[in-house]
Every structure is written in C-alpha cells, then in structure tokens.
Structure 1
Amino acid sequence: MTRSGFSGHLGDGTMEDKRNIQIIEWEHLDKKKFYVFGVAMTMMIRVSVYPFTLIRTRLQVQKGKSLYQGTFDAFIKILRADGVTGLYRGFLVNTFTLISGQCYVTTYELTRKFVADYSQSNTVKSLVAGGSASLVAQSITVPIDVVSQHLMMQRKGEKVGRFQVRGSSEGQGVVAFGQTKDIIRQILRTDGLRGFYRGYVASLLTYIPNSAVWWPFYHFYAALTPLS
C-alpha cells in the first residue's frame, strides 16, 4: 500500500475498509514510475537544501568563529570566494545517497513479505522490516556521506578539514570526480576501509530504532483512521 508516498500492505484485508488511506499493494505498484519519480522529487529537494547542509557542516567543524560568524556570513563568504559552485561542493557525490532511499523502500517491502511467512502480526512485520530497511540504507549512505562531507570542507586558500585535495590551497580548480578520487585515496591511506564508516554505529543506533518503531505506530494509527 502507499503510506506517505511509499508502499506496503496490511496483511489483513478487512482493515482496508476502515481506512481513508488508499491502499496500493507492492506487487501492483508501477515500479518504473515509483523509482523514477521518487528519485526526481528527492533530487529537487536536495538541490534546494544542499547549500545549507554545506554551511551547517562547515560551521560545526570550524574552531570557534575562525572562519564564519554565522549562517549568513558563511553564505556570503562562500559566494565571494568560490561562487555558486562553492555552495555545491560534494553535491555530485552526495546525490548517490538517493539510491539508499529507494533501497530503503524496497528492503522494507520485501522484508515484510518474507516475515509474513512466519508471522501475521502487523507489528512484528513492520518492526523487523523497518529496522532492516534502515540497516541497508545506512550501509549505503554513510560511506557516501563521509566522502561528500570531506568535499564540503574544501576551501580555496586554506585547509579546513582533515584532508585537502590537490590544487585547493593554490586556488586551482580540480574537476569534481578528480577531487573525489583524491579524497578517497587519502581516507584509504590514513584510515583504511574503516575510514569510510566513521559514525556508522552511531547512525545505526539513531535510524534503526526510529524506523523500527515508526512503522508499527503508523499501521496502528492508520487502522484507527475512520472513513470520512
């Protein structure tokens, strides 16, 4: 069924008659449209908010107010130093996290179907599927986030983060994926493969419980929703 734009099923057809939420079973969903439109909509949102994500990251990492006095000051200084492209450093790499959103939904639905062979409890199915979906999504997202965040910290003229790509300190331009390769090599050389999973456990402890609890409550309250 669709739930907040995503799909799944009740496991109990009698409940559908008590709800004013339109039910679309996963097997009846147009997968091509779902994945294409889902990625397109998320991309539009990402384009809008990414500059503020970059600014937030720099503000969190800087020592005191060594670089920026606040959000507006950071916005102006980045524009002056690097232009609009400076607000989108690491954006191309970050877009690969869109894959995790689709994997989340797919994992959720397939896990629900699998668990249904062992339990008809909607709560059990939603809890296991929600936790599994977040596990898969974060396993994809964290390494991409690590690389993109290092790219966000690239600033002409001085070193801001742990790593610096060739050409940044001299103010020379480096093609986007050239910077990405450089950052990946530096992470591997300094931290090994584990360097791509910094904060992974913290992410799992944040998102898995949230997702595992959210879906059972969604089904519970959706079942109580009367027809209008």
Structure 2
Amino acid sequence: MQQKRNIQIIEWEDLDKRKFYSFGVFMTMTIRATVYPATLIRTRLQVQKGKALYNGTIDAFCKIVRAEGVKGLYRGFMVNTLTLISGQAYITTYELVRKYVSTYSSNNAFKSLVAGGSASLVAQSITVPIDVISQQLMMQGQGGHLTRFRVKPKLPGAKHKATFGQTRDIIAQIFAVDGLRGFYRGYMASLLTYIPNSAVWWPFYHFYAEQLSNMAPSNCPHLLLQAMAGPLAAATASTVTNPMDVVRARVQVEGRTSIIGTFKQLIAEEGFWGMTKGLSARIIASTPTAIVMVVGYETLKRVSLRPELVDSRHW
C-alpha cells in the first residue's frame, strides 16, 4: 500500500527575504509579459456588445494581429508593468497573513483562504488605478469605439506617438471627466472579483496538489504536481468569479457607476451567456499564468530558503 505523503509548504519565516524579493521581481515581470496578450483579448471580448467585433478568443487574436500587428497585443503593457509593485505587495501580504492566522488555526485551507483574500485586497488597492489606465490603452485600435476615451490622432506626417504620450492623453482625459475618483472606477467590482478569486485559488491549489500527490508515484517530483495543481485551481477560480469580472471590465471601461445596474443590463441584453464572456480567454490566460506562477513561486521559495534549512527539506 502506497504511503500517503504531504507536499511541504515553505512558510514565511523559512525565507531569506533579500533573495526572495530580488528574484520575485524578475518572476513577476516574466509572468506579466507571458499572459498580457490574453488579458488584452479578454478585456476586448468582455466590453464588446454581443459579437459586434470578435467571435471569440481565436478570432480576436487573428483580427488584432492582422489589423494592428503583434504590438497591438501589447497595448498598455508598459503602464501595466507598474503592477510589479502590487505583485510584491500581494506576495508579502499573503505570506504574513498566513503566518498570523497560523497562530489561531492549523487548517491549511482556512489559512490559504484568509491570506489569499487579504492579499488581493491590498494588491487591488494598488492595481485598480493602473488597470483603469492600461485598459483604456488596451481598447485603442480596433476597440477604440467601445471606450469613452481616445488617444489623440497623430498629425499627418508626424511620427508615431510614443507610449508615454498616449498614456498622458488617457490620464488627462480621465482626470478631466471624472477627477481623481475616476482612477478608482470599478474598485468595488474589482474587490468583488479578485478577493473571491484569490481566496478560492489558494485552497484549491493546495487541495489539488495534495490529491495529485496521493495518486502519483512516490518518485514523482512535487514541483510537477504543483505545476499541474495550479491550472486546475485557476480554472476553478476563473469559472466561479467570471460573471463579476465581466461586470468589472464594463464598469471600468464604459465609465458606469452601478455594479448592480451593469449586471442587470448585461443579463437583459445578453442573457446568462453574457456572464461567460471572455471566460475561455481568461482560462487560457490563467493556465500559463498558473503554471509559470506556481513553478516560479515554488522555485523562488526554494532558492530563497535560509541556508541552514536546505538540508532539512526533501522534495
């Protein structure tokens, strides 16, 4: 009979913090660059009415590349890289809250749920203004008619407007129309999307990892099992929270003020299936994100393990 084994979890107090943060920035940047095109496609699919512009993820990809080139898939990317700050805030909050909750409960699922939700709250408070700007930039080009703000067209014969110039145009327009609060449009919708997503992802990640560990041969590397558990958890969390993600995208891009009103209008115009818009793109985006994040994050924690603990861990 195969002996049950547990995947070891490296906790916050086990880490060399300098290594952890140094390698963490590189890992986060790699993830952002990998999944950004899928994020852009998901945003355009969620904001369009019905199938006015794209018939799905593959169709959107082909049309964007054909009309705007590969660089069209990276509209707003430079602004989005500022979310590196929120990425580090997310990781730190998750690990610290998990450590704090450990003093009251040894239940791993509960610790992961509370820590994941708390980390998302902190990260979204930093991310939303960046998202508001980058989403407006994402919608330029083919999706320009779906947003309230447009980058000023270049004059005949002028060189292509630099990215920072386009960003400045969008920031100025948002501030002129909505003031400072315009940069936090959709904040509550983001919290209602990402806090549950994060709170669901971590418990399911550990659950799937343990189940796979129990089924796999004893010599199967834990990192491989964790890499498989990540996408399963991501697909589960994406499916559960996608309706709110559709509402969030519309609130932020279209400038709506009512979450409930946006939800009702979406149901009235497009029915239940409107809640699934962008889900395939979201899962496509979340799968490589989850694999890269899990492999990167677990490897990051292992290489950041305090030297005196290395020999005591077995993978």
State the TM-score, normalizing by the size of structure 2. Answer: 0.54
Whole-angstrom CA distance in 2 between matches of 1:222 and 1:180: 41
- Partner residue of 1:58 out of 36, 44, 54: 44
Return the offset for 1:158: 6.1
Higher helix proportion: 2
Partner of 2:150: 164
Gaps of 5+ in 2: 219-315
Partner of 2:31: 45
- Partner residue of 2:192 out of 198, 205, 211: 205
Return the offset for 1:183: 0.9
Return the offset for 1:164: 0.6
Q: Tell me, yes or no, if the aligned pair for 1:103 and 1:133 is still in contact at 8 Å.
A: yes
Does the alignment pair 1:154 with 2:140? Answer: yes
Partner of 2:77: 91
- Partner residue of 1:121 out of 105, 118, 141: 105
Return the offset for 1:69: 4.3
Return the offset for 1:221: 8.9
**Which amino acid is 2:46 matched to?**
Q
Counterparts of residues 63-142 of structure 1 (less than 5 Å): 63-114=49-100, 119-123=103-107, 126-142=112-128
Q: Tell me, yes or no, if the aligned pair for 2:11 and 2:99 is still in contact at 8 Å.
A: no
Partner of 2:279: none
Partner of 1:13: none
Return the offset for 1:140: 1.4
Whole-angstrom CA distance in 1 between matches of 2:132 and 2:44: 14
Return the offset for 1:66: 4.1
Whole-angstrom CA distance in 2 between matches of 1:220 and 1:158: 42
Q: Tell me, yes or no, if the aligned pair for 1:151 and 1:180 is still in contact at 8 Å.
A: yes
**Which amino acid is 2:176 matched to?**
R
Return the offset for 1:148: 0.7
- Partner residue of 1:195 out of 154, 168, 182: 182
Q: Tell me, yes or no, if the aligned pair for 1:154 and 1:168 is still in contact at 8 Å.
A: no
Deviation track 1:136-179 (CA, whole Å, cap 9, x = no partner) reads 01111222111111001111796442101122697962111221
Partner of 1:143: 129
Whole-angstrom CA distance in 2 between matches of 1:177 and 1:110: 36
How many residues of Structure 1 are paired with residues of Structure 2 in the alignment? 209
Does the alignment pair 1:26 with 2:16? Answer: no
Q: Tell me, yes or no, if the aligned pair for 2:112 and 2:199 is still in contact at 8 Å.
A: yes
- Partner residue of 2:170 out of 180, 183, 192: 183
Return the offset for 1:107: 1.1
**Which amino acid is 2:48 matched to?**
Q
Change in 2 beyond 3 A, CA 1:106/1:157: closer
Whole-angstrom CA distance in 2 between matches of 1:157 and 1:221: 38
Return the offset for 1:96: 1.8
State the TM-score, normalizing by the size of structure 1. Answer: 0.72
Return the offset for 1:75: 3.0
Deviation track 1:63-106 (CA, whole Å, cap 9, x = no partner) reads 44444444444333333433221111001111222322221121
The alignment partner of 2:137 has SS state of helix
Query: Which structure's relative contact order is higher, taking Cα pairs within 8 Å and 6+ residues apart?
Result: 2
Counterparts of residues 2-21 of structure 1 (less than 5 Å): 20-21=6-7
Deviation track 1:153-212 (CA, whole Å, cap 9, x = no partner) reads 111796442101122697962111221121111111111222222222122223334444
Change in 2 beyond 3 A, CA 1:96/1:199: same
Bigger mean CA deviation after superposition, 209-218 or 144-153 = 209-218
Change in 2 beyond 3 A, CA 1:30/1:86: same
Deviation track 1:114-155 (CA, whole Å, cap 9, x = no partner) reads 456xx5323575554333211101111222111111001111
